[in-house]
Structure 1
Amino acid sequence: MNKSELSGIALIIVSFVLIVYFGYNNYQEKNRLKNDKLELTSQIEHLQQTIEKNNQIIADNEQSKRELENQSTEWQEQINEQLKNNDCANQLVPVSVSNSLYNRAKNLRQPTDTSKSIK
């Protein structure tokens, strides 16, 4: 065999080795990416479940708050009805006490904002 035939064979062998090398690396990278994709998909599903649970907790808390607001209103109406003809109820209450009670009731009755739930 002459020198050019040997270089051609060497070139073919080197090309084959490179093709096998890059093919194997590509196969390994493809498997790694496939595993990463499965792991990320699993994490996304887990996060979606967590979001759904948190949204349900938020909705339950808002419902409880509305129920407490309604209960507070009912109690206030009952108190007002019972004190309607009571002389003691017509006496002035110190400003600091009335402000404190007013602010407490105001905070309890603030509307709930459901637009801020997690999506």
Structure 2
Amino acid sequence: MKKVKFIFFVFISAIFIAGGIFAGFAIAFTVAETPEFSLPVHDLDEVIGVQVFHDNRSTQLHIGFDFKLDNDTEIFAPISGKVTNVKKHQMSNGYWLIDVNIKINVKWTIFIAFEPWTT
């Protein structure tokens, strides 16, 4: 009988713990608002070109915009958040591609790629 009570206690405890974790995530996702982004430049006049790119031959969907900036343009994060990852990839032409992930809240992360051919 003790073994059955112990198993029942463990089972009920697991349900309460799982429920608490689920409720915490549910509250966090409900509170996390949809963020508002801005361009990563101080003045819109610094953007000297914009293009949307999608290559139909590619299996990867490109859902971003490419902004052309002068080489000396100061850029900054388009929204407050925590930088969670920075990756550098060497391109075949000797240039570097830099990827940055910024975590905004529990629901949203933004990905920015700095591409050398857009300068």
Normalised by the length of structure 2, the TM-score is: 0.36
Q: Which has the higher helix share?
A: 1
Report which of the two structures shows the higher radius of gyration computed on alpha carbons.
1
Normalised by the length of structure 1, the TM-score is: 0.36
Q: Which has the higher contact order (CA 8 A, sep 6+)?
A: 1
Q: Which has the higher strand share?
A: 2
